[in-house]
Amino acid sequence: MKKKVFLISGGSSGIGLAIAAGLADAGHRVISLSRSREKIERGIQQYPALENRVDFITGDISSEKDAENVRTHVEKKYGVLHGLVNNAGILTKGTLETISVEDWKFTLDVNLTGPYILTKALLPLLKQAGSASVVNISSVAGLKPGTSVAYSVSKAGLDMLTRFLAGDLGPYKIRVNSVNPGLVRTNIHLDNKIVADKKTYEAMLDKARPRYPLGEIGEPDDIARMVMFLLSDDASWISGSIIPVDGGIMVENDLIPPKK
Ligand SMILES: NC(=O)c1ccc[n+]([C@@H]2O[C@H](COP(=O)([O-])OP(=O)(O)OC[C@H]3O[C@@H](n4cnc5c(N)ncnc54)[C@H](OP(=O)(O)O)[C@@H]3O)[C@@H](O)[C@H]2O)c1
């Protein structure tokens, strides 16, 4: 890939951190946007080489003001943006009867309105690139109901944002695609208090694993490789696609007898 400038939201942890590391290793200039310093420090502990190779900035993707500050920062320091990965996201629990209106709104604010705000703010810099790529990190839970109503609805909305923007921004040579991961080992369940502790988290993964046709849950790099492809010129004719990267969970069918 030609050396380019990329911004990853949520590049301090999990999938976003793996994407930031992959892009930095390939020699690109990488900016990560996330809220807390603690998670940035934790991410740097995991990938010490990134401390000087990724521009870790702080801000909230659901804040218009923060998004404007990000645009000013990128404009002044880099002058252009070749790719944006709307990866930052949160997880909340609950069905219609159990989720509070507050959690519903918070989930939609971060997972759906956040990518809208950030993409809108950075659009002038993406246009400046001549051709650019936006990748939205969605979820299989946006394609088939998961266990959290707000999370599933937020990701289904994000997939429609992908499809809408692919048509809307195509004339500017900006491609827009979704990557929809299945269950991936990251900090999201513990950090968002979906599970109480590491033991419960491992039990959750053990329960999920046999449901995956390939017999494994994902690692952040499994998702990062697809994102890097979509950011590259090798994907120059791909736009408006919703791409599960999910160990086969979307075709899981428990009526097929298990293999011996
Ligand atoms: N892990 C999975 O099983 C899985 C499956 C399907 C889809 N996904 C999706 O993949 C994406 C990444 O998830 P992950 O598992 O890597 O999660 P993670 O480890 O919890 O990382 C989330 C990142 O997003 C940042 N973030 C959260 N809210 C933000 C906000 N309002 N503004 C700016 N940054 C924010 C976090 O940092 P701060 O909290 O410090 O801001 C962190 O850097 C999410 O969109 C998630 O929905 C994950």
Distance from Cα 35 to the centre of ligand 1, integer Å: 11
Q: How far is the CA of 20 from the centre of ligand 1 (A)?
A: 13
Average pLDDT, the chain: 97
Q: What is the pLDDT of residue 149?
A: 98
| Cα-Cα-Cα-Cα dihedral sign, residues 89, 64, 58, 29 | positive
**pLDDT grade for 1, boundaries at 50, 70 and 90:** low
CB 65 within 8 A of CB 114: no
Amino acid at 151: Y
Over range 119-132, report the average pLDDT: 98
Q: Which long-range contacts (CB under 8 A, 24 or more apart) does 169-172 make?
A: 169/123, 169/126, 169/134, 170/239, 170/240, 172/126, 172/127, 172/132
Which of 85, 191, 100 minimizes the C-alpha distance to 133? 85
Indicate which atom in ligand 1 lies nearest the CA of residue 183: 3
Q: Whose CA is nearest to atom 25 of ligand 1?
A: 10
Query: Could you give phi then psi for residue 135, rounded to 5 degrees?
Result: -120, 125
Segments forming the whole domain that contains residue 118: 5-244
**136 pLDDT higher than 60:** yes
User: What pTM value is reported for the model?
Assistant: 0.98
Residue 249 placed within a domain? no
149 within domain boundaries: yes
**At residue 5, does pLDDT exceed 70?**
yes
Average pLDDT over residues 44-56: 96
Which atom number of ligand 1 is nearest to the Cα of residue 110? 31
pLDDT of residue 259: 84
pLDDT category of residue 257 using cuts at 50, 70 and 90: confident
Q: Number of folded domains in the chain?
A: 1
Tell which atom from ligand 1 comes closest to the C-alpha of 155: 47
How many Å apart are CA 61 and CA 70, to the nearest integer?
10
In a domain, 131, yes or no: yes
Q: At what angle do helices 220-231 and 14-25 cross, to 10 degrees?
A: 50
DSSP annotation of 184 reads B
Please say whether the beta carbons of 125 and 76 come within 8 A.
no
* Residue 250 lies inside a defined structural domain of this protein: no
**5-31 burial string, b = 16+ CB within 10 Å, else e?**
bbbbbbbbbbbbbbbbbbbbeeebbbb
Residue nearest to atom 32 of ligand 1 (CA): 60
Considering the candidates 151, 172, 201, 212, report the single residue annotated as catalytic: 151
Q: Is residue 259 part of a domain?
A: no
User: pLDDT per residue over 169-220, tens digit each?
Assistant: 999 999 999 999 999 999 999 999 999 999 999 999 999 999 999 999 999 9
**137 CB within 6 A, ligand 1:** yes
Pocket test for ligand 1, best of 188, 190, 195, 245 (most atoms within 8 A of CB): 188
Give yes or no: 151 in active site: yes
* 253 occurs within a structural domain: no
Q: Which residue has the tokens 């069918």?
A: 253
Q: Can you tell me which atom of ligand 1 is nearest the CA of 140?
A: 6
Could you read off the pLDDT of 218-232 as tens digits, one per residue? 999 999 999 999 999
115 in contact with ligand 1, CB cutoff 6 A: no
Cβ(183) – ligand 1 distance below 6 Å: yes
The Cβ-side half-sphere exposure at 168, using a 13 Å CA radius, reads 13
What is the radius of gyration, based on Cα positions, of the chain? 18
Domain of 207, CATH number, reads 3.40.50.720
Query: 3-state secondary structure string, 64-126?
Result: HHHHHHHHHHHHHHCCCCCEEEECCCCCCCCCCCCCCHHHHHHHHHHHHHHHHHHHHHHHHHH
* Average pLDDT over every residue of 40-64: 97
Q: Span 32-59, mean pLDDT?
A: 97
Q: Which two tokens stand for residue 191?
A: 């950090």
